[in-house]
Structure 1
Amino acid sequence: MIPDDAEQPMVRELTLRQVGGSIGATIPKDMADRLHLEAGDRVLAIETAQGILLTPFDPDVEAGLAVAAHAAKKYR
């Protein structure tokens, strides 16, 4: 979520790195500070037509996405 006091959204190039069996990206400190992100915070990664959207973790959103995924699978 972009802070209200932000005039323009930050755009940064991130480098993907191997992290065990996964791939991870590091968020630059200035961006993390503006978005009030800290190590250990939970976010949801949502695949979109434009790429990946990271959004703050919200149990209600997670539950809604699970219901939608189940319905999409059931009604293929």
Structure 2
Amino acid sequence: MTVLKLTAIGSSTGVVLPKEVLERMNVAKGDSLYLVEAADGAYRLTPYDPTIARKIEKADDIVRRYHNTLQRLAK
């Protein structure tokens, strides 16, 4: 477990993520992180955009349902 302290950054409040955490998340200065609220009220910090994940799931569903049609269109 990593404990993060809130710190003043200008007129805002922020946290500083340790270098090891940034490396494990495969992110660097200037990248975006997403704070996602889970069903149980907890929060998750992730480098992956959850809206893109939902779009990919929807596209996968369409490909599964219309596999034969898509194969014919590809010919």
Normalising by the smaller structure, the TM-score range is 0.5 to 0.7
Deviations 1:22-62 (A, max 9, x none): 21111111121122110111011124412x3112142x617
Relative to total residues, which structure has the larger strand share, 1 or 2? 1
Q: Which has more radius of gyration?
A: 2
Relative to total residues, which structure has the larger helix share, 1 or 2? 2
TM-score scaled to structure 2, two decimals? 0.53
Unpaired runs of 5+ residues, structure 2, are: 55-75
Give the structure, 1 or 2, with the largest relative contact order (CA under 8 Å, sep 6 or more): 1
Q: How many residues align?
A: 51
Match of 2:24 in 1: 34
Unpaired runs of 5+ residues, structure 1, are: 1-10, 65-76
Q: 1:22 is matched by which residue type in structure 2?
A: S
TM-score scaled to structure 1, two decimals? 0.53
Runs of 4+ deviating beyond 4 Å: none
